[in-house]
Amino acid sequence: MITMITMTTMTTLPDLDTLRAMTARFAPVSVAADLATLDAPERRVLATLVDAVRVMDDLYLEQVWAGNRAMLARLREDRTALGQARLRYFLINKGPWSRLDHDRPFLPDAPPKSGGAGFYPADATKDEVAAWLSSPEGEAGRGFFTTIRRDAAGRLMTVPYSVEYRDTLEELARRLRDAAALTRQPSLAHFLRLRADAFLSDDYHASDVAWMEIDASIEPTIGPYEVYEDGWFNAKAAFEAFITVRDEHETQRLADFGRHLQMLEDHLPVDPQHRNPRLGALAPIRVVNLVFAAGEGNRGVQTAAFNLPNDERVIREHGAKRVMLRNVQQAKFQHVLLPIAGRALAPGDRGRVSFDAFFAHILLHELMHGLGPHDIRVAGRETTVRQELKETYSAIEEAKADIAAQWALEFLTDRGFIDAAVAREGPATVLASMFRSLRFGINEAHGRGVAIQLNFLLQEGAVRVETDGTFSVEPSRLRDAVTALTKEILTLQAEGDYSRARAMIARLGMIRPEMQRVLDRLDDVPVDIEPRFATAQALVTAEQMWGPPFLARFSWRAGGPKAG
């Protein structure tokens, strides 16, 4: 049994037993992938990529906090039991703050976590940076791939990623070119060469398009992508990597879904003027099995799927690519979701929780990220939803993708595109998964987005609390409630209404007592998985490429001596 400890009311740093209990919230799981379809040369390519991207951990640590490297060095010197427990939890969180506990520090000498992470000067305030970014001098600093620093006179200045992280990116680019030279798969080689160039130029457009067009047995995702770490403006992209192999059977099975996107867009429950009459032509869906993840791709709660790129220009011109990490989803379903369902749901709903419904909801969630408003017009000026909603963007966008996925499930089932059995199992499966996400904490975008949804569904009577404290779905009210919330969020985004987004989060983005009572029942259920990359370790060892990257001795597991 896992003895769960919360830091909510803690005023002192956790001792050894408490720290071990906090770590135990991540269930160690061997993440393996079948490489039978890869011949020896392509396995060498895969090993080269795995070895290359381990430096993403180093880059990401620096982006989280400038003091992370020095703190990690001190932790590695501490051979006591407490020191090693601290090191393991540090590596799970990629820093000295517990992400499941509202970013509370668990190490001595750790300052409060900055909302600006390591992207902005440590002595700057959010208001100071915001004012500068709004000025002509700050225009260059608004992009995904820049940090903000101070010049010799103390004035704010823009530093491109290619300059800020030059040495590491030059080495990474060299290794990607090595892999490109080894592979016999043209689309993979094309992407790797362009991505290597992008690391040194900060122009990721061509390589983003090439990434979408990869048609190969190996599917790497390598670069600065997600903006969750930038808690001030959701504007700066963090480095991450997912090295995966394609599940060809499942990929082919889902190929038709991409052809339904324009139909879904055309029927979104929002004023027609806010719909996109012509989506980008590319909408690939890839089902893959994870071999190795690094950087933001392997910190805290593990990613189960993603929808990229985030660049609105690429989405507008070409569309977006959805990647489903099937072996990660299976691990989360087995080790986390099923135990949650047994305690959070009323008996009548527990039998309607299935992996197929879990997989379908994650797929639709990723599809819906690419639909709805992105480029918008506010007060006569061209802008984006991300820019207008600022720090509220990620939570609102996650809520949109989730609730719109439920709307899409009903829509596609009505038209015969989804099996009716999956649709019947969907609501109960999603409800159980809401409690899974709430445990990530409402300081995290997915957790807060789920709180918005669940509170709204409770308010509308589409979900009810039973006398024993468990939750159940009210089917007769669910469809209307899902449609109403989908419309409200899409309209808010289309209008770029920052104040309304803040009001929605204030009104609905909290954990109510009845929700907390269920969460308390889950104390001995893991919150997420701690992946141990057995296939990656075997690959790299076989290729004798065990080298000196910064976190090499820890990389095979999420947290110990080595994910949504």
pLDDT of residue 34: 94
Asked if residue 42 has pLDDT above 70, the reply is yes
When comparing pLDDT for 551 and 330, which is higher?
330
- Look up residue 53 and give its amino acid: V
Report the alpha-carbon distance of residue 340 to residue 324 in Å, rounded: 22
Residue 560 has pLDDT above 60, yes or no: no
pLDDT attached to residue 320: 84
Q: Is the pLDDT score of 374 beyond 60?
A: yes
Residues 6+ apart with CB under 8 A from 223: 195, 198, 199, 204, 207, 237, 239, 240, 241
φ/ψ (deg, to 5) at 184? -105, 15
Which residue did the predictor score with more confidence, 8 or 561?
Answer: 8
- Give the pLDDT band of residue 532 (cuts 50, 70, 90): very high
More confident residue, 102 or 182: 182
Strand partners, 219: 244
Window from 1-10, 173-182, 209-218, 439-448 with minimum mean pLDDT: 1-10
559 pLDDT more than 80: no
The pLDDT tens digits for 413-449 are 999 999 999 999 999 999 999 999 999 888 888 899 9
Q: pLDDT-derived band of residue 543, with 50, 70 and 90 as boundaries?
A: low
Structure confidence at residue 314 (pLDDT): 87
User: Is residue 336's pLDDT more than 50?
Assistant: yes
Q: What is the pLDDT of residue 546?
A: 42
Q: Is the pLDDT at 231 greater than 80, yes or no? A: yes
Which runs of E-coded beta strand occur in 31-163? 97-98, 104-105, 146-150, 156-160
Distance in angstroms (rounded) separating the CA atoms of residues 82 and 184? 48
Q: What is the pLDDT at residue 553?
A: 37
Model confidence band, residue 11 (pLDDT cutoffs 50, 70, 90): low
Tell me: pLDDT of 563 over 60.
Answer: no
Q: Tokens 């999956």 identify what position?
A: 422
* CA–CA distances in Å: residue 255 to residues 191, 355, 420: 22, 19, 19
Give me the pLDDT at residue 549, please. Answer: 41
- Of the two residues 3 and 425, the one the predictor is more confident about is 425
- The pLDDT > 90 percentage for the chain reads 84
Q: Check: CB of residue 474 under 8 Å from CB of residue 460.
A: no
Average pLDDT over residues 382-404: 95
Name the maximum alpha-carbon separation found in the chain.
67
Percent of the chain with pLDDT over 70: 94
pLDDT of residue 542: 74
pLDDT digits (tens, 9 = 90+) for 136-161: 999 999 999 999 999 999 999 999 99
Residue 32 CA to residue 181 CA, distance in Å, equals 26
Q: What is the mean pLDDT of residues 358-383?
A: 92
Q: How many CA atoms lie within 13 A of 83 on its CB side?
A: 10
Average pLDDT over residues 197-205: 98
* Two tokens, residue 385: 């939803």
**Residue 9: is its pLDDT beyond 90?**
no
State pLDDT tens for residues 480-528.
999 999 999 999 999 999 999 999 999 999 999 999 999 999 999 999 9
